[in-house]
Amino acid sequence: MYMLSDAADVGAFPSLSKFPHVMVTSLIDAVKFGSREARHLFPRLLQIAALFPDTIDDFIHAVRSSCLFITCR
């Protein structure tokens, strides 16, 4: 396991507050490109949207921009 030392540049790591936003956009893109695992994780995206209301706009934008590519199977 890797641990940060006190001297490590903590600013080089992205903020955890961006994690839900990254998950939403990344999983929608993965669904768009045909990932079966991403389709199975889709209900988790709904949970993320419920837990982090500020991600709802990202979710809506990602789905609308990908709606032509996402197919129901």
Is the residue at 2 inside a domain? Answer: no
- The arithmetic mean of pLDDT across residues 31-40, rounded, is 90
Q: 55 in a domain, yes or no?
A: yes
Q: Please name which of 23, 27, 71, 13 lies closest in space to residue 51, comparing C-alpha atoms.
A: 23
The structural domain count of the chain equals 1
In a domain, 49, yes or no: yes
Question: Which pLDDT score, from 0 to 100, does residue 69 have?
Answer: 55
- Does residue 72 fall inside a structural domain? no
Determine, yes or no, domain membership for 73: no
Q: What percent of the chain is modeled with pLDDT above 90?
A: 11
Does 53 reside within a domain? yes
Cα 25–Cα 32–Cα 72 angle in degrees, nearest 5 = 120
- Domain of residue 51 covers 16-66
Q: Is the pTM of the predicted complex or chain greater than 0.85? A: no
Per-residue pLDDT, averaged over 8-13, amounts to 55
- 9 domain residue, yes or no: no
d(CA 44, CA 49): 9
pLDDT computed for residue 46 by the predictor: 87
